[in-house]
Structure 1
Amino acid sequence: MKSYLNVAGESNVSRKLNFCFVEPQVDLDEGIDVVIPLSSVQEVASKYSYTLYGYFIGKRIAFPVVQNYILNVWKKYGLEKIMMNSKGFFFFKFSYEEGMLRVLQEGPWMIRTIPIILNKWSPNISLTKEDLMKVPVWARLYDVPLVGFTDDGLSVIASKIIRPMMLDAYTSTMCKESWGRPNFARAMIEVSAETDLKESLKVATPSIDGDGVTMDEVRIEYDWKPPRCSCCKVFGHMDLHCPKVVCVEAVKDKQSDKNSKKDADGFKVVLKNKRKGVAAMNHNKGNKGGFGVGPRDGTSKDKQVKVNNSFGALVDEPSDVESDKDETATFMAEKHAHKVTAPFGMKSGWL
């Protein structure tokens, strides 16, 4: 008979893994070292059924922030588990397929005003962050004429940026009731990487009697600007990280190489030194001895000790040690005196 310990502890006993040596395959194609068994692929695929994976454009959002938002908003869709790998990819496991498909259809989803790119996971997908041509962003339209707070009016204005997608709750109420918050209109707009983000628009309002128009300038502010490469015309990386752009530092290094040469040991020797004050402390040409020693014959033109190294830089420029100490003390005092706590809370849904 089984003891109470065995019966109560059976559910907590983990299955022993068959981790052992496997004879390597020899009939492999060139460039392939190992082939994962098909049985392993099928086993993991069954465990990851109804799973989405997602990533952010640019800087990744912290896992606790994403977890807090997703658990509150996607729980009604049957969300079960969340995890993240070292490359910044998030995985979302659902209990049924219908809930997973609804999350894909009802997007885009934004966390901290940054959209998360979602795709359905499968064993044959390579996890890579693709460069996108179009992404949704929240934009605020300031100084919109009062007569422009209608479906047609805001649609015409937003269409000039790229493509309007939706309005927030306050702006929708303003359009329906013509009363509320006329300070600005907040809209989700799909922007394109082929053109620069517009900062303002000239809007003309025709008069009711047909006699002329009234001109206004609508100012546009974006809650988040995606990293854009003006060379590749894509969202995902900046110009400084573009592989098609020649690095500016590399060009500067090539120009500096023209004014220098290398000695026998491979070190660069500057041919032109524009530093002031170095020539005044240059070593004596007649000094053939070691460090701090005069000529070999024991004579010296003056009583000063001649050296082979030039220390004009140390003589001409004052020391920054004391100033660094003063700046550090001032910084620490200001830091403790003006301590500011950044907000960490967040709201779910479209705000």
Structure 2
Amino acid sequence: IVAFLVGKKLPNRDVLQILQRKWGQVGRFSIHVAGNGVFLARFENRQARDWVLDNGPWDVWGYHLAVRPWSRDMSLSLGECKSMPLWVKLKGVPIQFWNKVGLSYIASVLGKPLHMDVTTMNRHALMFARVCIDISATSSFPESVTLELEDGSTNSIEVEYPWRPTACALCKVFDHSNRSCPKVTRREWMPRPVLMAQRKPEDDMGCATEQQGSPYGVNCLIVLICFVMNHGWS
């Protein structure tokens, strides 16, 4: 499987030790660093591999660790990660939809349904359904889903994301946010020049005249107050 660490770059040695402690309880495996924040794990048996996938995503020191099966055409770069498995809570699900088919139907509006947790599968608590969904980086992460029932009525299902990764709408990846996107043109703030009225020698009264050559291509007229001398207006 391939694991992507999202949110912060941690020391590889610490990540490997934590995964050995968490995953080693179900079987032996080897893990290798495939890139910056990307790890490749190889298990000795399929049961251990499936257990790690079914119980993911994981966390390392509170940071999201997305896991997915490896494939030949799969990119091992976090910068090309265009979708990510996330746990989602669905609240207000009608009881007739509380099964694998019904929950998959609802979850498919948000992305590709992967699996449910044990509590949801066994229907131990019906306050909310917890489903792992592979969500695209272009998703708007809606807060609700409208479900149309057989009688024509509709039911609004609340969607809650316990953890939501930053995504770039321009690059359509989870590697960085819109604000830190390298493709965005940066604008540097330039202070606006202050135009000062200049007194000309021939202006006996000290009245400013129209200033030419504004950097904005227009004539800026600065009006100064003319002091009235004791002799009045001339």
Normalising by the smaller structure, the TM-score range is 0.5 to 0.7
Please give the secondary structure, in 1, of the residue aligned with 2:81: coil
TM-score between the two structures when normalised by the length of structure 2: 0.63
- 1:55-100, Cα deviation, whole Å (9 max, x unpaired): 41232467657634532323443246x78899555576x7xx7349
Q: Structure 2: how far apart are the matches of 1:242 and 1:163?
A: 26
Corresponding residue for residue 216 of structure 2: none
Question: How many residue pairs get matched?
Answer: 187
CA contact (8 A) 2:37 2:78 kept: no
CA RMSD of aligned residues (A): 3.7
Return closer, same or farther for 1:105/1:171 CA change in 2, 3 Å cut-off.
Answer: closer
In structure 2, stretches of 5+ residues that fail to align are 71-75, 197-234
Return closer, same or farther for 1:132/1:91 CA change in 2, 3 Å cut-off.
Answer: closer
Report whether the alignment pairs 1:158 with 2:107.
Answer: yes
Q: CA deviation at 1:134?
A: 1.3
Q: CA deviation at 1:231?
A: 1.0
Q: CA deviation at 1:222?
A: 1.3
Give, as a single letter, the amino acid of the residue that structure 2 aligns with 1:74: G
Corresponding residue for residue 70 of structure 1: 20
Give, as a single letter, the amino acid of the residue that structure 1 aligns with 2:157: V
Return closer, same or farther for 1:99/1:217 CA change in 2, 3 Å cut-off.
Answer: same
Alignment of 1:44-63 (within 5 A): 54-60=3-9
Please give the secondary structure, in 1, of the residue aligned with 2:120: helix
Equivalent in 155, 159, 168 of residue 216 of structure 1: 155
Return closer, same or farther for 1:119/1:155 CA change in 2, 3 Å cut-off.
Answer: closer
Corresponding residue for residue 205 of structure 1: 149
Q: CA deviation at 1:153?
A: 1.5
Return closer, same or farther for 1:133/1:90 CA change in 2, 3 Å cut-off.
Answer: closer
- Whichever of the two has the greater Rg, that structure is 1
Larger RCO (CA within 8 A; separation ≥ 6): 2
Please give the secondary structure, in 1, of the residue aligned with 2:88: strand
Report which of the two has the higher share of helix: 1
Alignment of 1:210-249 (within 5 A): 213-247=152-186
Report whether the alignment pairs 1:111 with 2:58.
Answer: yes
Report which of the two has the higher share of strand: 2
Q: CA deviation at 1:117?
A: 5.0
Report the identity percentage.
Answer: 24
Q: CA deviation at 1:107?
A: 2.8
Give, as a single letter, the amino acid of the residue that structure 2 aligns with 1:110: P
CA contact (8 A) 1:114 1:137 kept: no
Return closer, same or farther for 1:244/1:150 CA change in 2, 3 Å cut-off.
Answer: same
Give, as a single letter, the amino acid of the residue that structure 1 aligns with 2:106: I
Q: Structure 1: how far apart are the matches of 2:68 and 2:93?
A: 34
Which stretch of structure 1 is more off in the superposition, 56-65 or 99-108?
Answer: 99-108
CA contact (8 A) 1:66 1:111 kept: no
CA contact (8 A) 1:83 1:91 kept: yes
Q: Structure 1: how far apart are the matches of 2:141 and 2:3?
A: 25
CA contact (8 A) 2:29 2:44 kept: no
